[in-house]
Amino acid sequence: MRPIASVELAGFRDAMVEMCLATDLSEYNAIDVVGTGGDGKNTFNISTLSCFVIAGTGVKVTKHGNYAVSSTSGSSNVLELLGYKFSNDLGKLKSDLDKGNFCFHHAPLFHPAMKYIAPVRRALKVQTFFNILGPMINPSSPKFQILGVNNLENFNHYKNVYETLDVNYAIVNSMDGYDEISLTADTHVASNHKDFLLTPSDFGMEKIQPEKLFGGESIDEAAKIFINIFEGNGTREQNNAVIANSALGLHIYYPEKSLMDCVGMARESLESKSALTKLKAIIE
């Protein structure tokens, strides 16, 4: 099986967006923070936590996600366990945004074409381009996105595709293979304007060890980590990883603010439990 070309990935992305159950949430000027998965690192739900931290600063978040691929618990797993009700009803999505600055697009409810593709993927038993397509096909088409990829090949594919789109974006890949800012190594970033490296010290933080990001052995353990962090019981390393990813999202959303200003905003949202308040507002 040959590797996919960027132009082919762009074509599949366009087709999936055209076929999906689209949601017009443009009035909310929202952001998404999402990763491809597939890095095999089994981290806790850093991207989903970061979405709520960003929501806690007042920015609207329209997250797209699914059940776990490479970790114990994906965004859908943990939100479902915590009591979030998946829906493709536009009224509910808008209500969640109004109440908690956050709504969630559970991928199977918005991409009916995938039910025909899933059996083929299972039969092939190898990774295909569908493993990296998910973050690109958010049904709400947010104009701001932080996109995590798990290797340099996918980083370049994403860069080639997003250079053609009307999106304010940052594509991130940790140099040691995480699909997010892990703080375990420097992070390669591509945005609308430049390619650059971010070090832990750019966030005013220290490098951390990979085991500090472990996401647990079960969905229950993953959910416990999730709530512990929001309740102020996360470790320094867990908190910093969430704050760093949140800060880059805020920096893309507010380019006039410095990265360290955005670190401060994210830290305030987490430590004041504003992020927890937004989560509680949408849990039924």
- The answer to whether residue 116 scores a pLDDT higher than 90 is no
CB atoms within 10 A of CB 237: 19
Residue 42: phi and psi, rounded to 5, are 50, 55
Is residue 121 predicted with pLDDT exceeding 60? no
Residue 55 in 3-state DSSP? Answer: helix
**pLDDT (tens digit, 9 = 90+) per residue, 149-188?**
999 999 999 999 999 999 999 999 999 999 999 999 999 9
Q: Cβ distance 144 to 28 under 8 Å? A: no
**Which domains can be identified in the chain, with CATH numbers?**
6-282 (3.40.1030.10)
Q: How far apart are CA 172 and CA 146, in angstroms?
A: 7
For residues 115-138, average pLDDT: 70
User: For residue 57, what is the DSSP state?
Assistant: T
183 touches 175 (CB < 8 A)? no
* 119 phi and psi angles, rounded to 5 deg: -60, -35
Cα first-last separation, the chain: 45
Is the pLDDT reported for residue 80 higher than 80? yes
* Rounded Cα–Cα distance for residues 243 and 210 (Å): 17
pTM to 2 decimal places: 0.94
pLDDT over threshold 90, residue 127: no
Residue 122 has pLDDT above 80, yes or no: no
Work out the average pLDDT over 62-66: 94
Whole-number average pLDDT of the chain: 92
Identify which of 185, 196, 213 has the alpha carbon closest to the alpha carbon of residue 251.
196
Question: DSSP secondary structure string, 207-221?
Answer: ---GGGGB--SSHHH
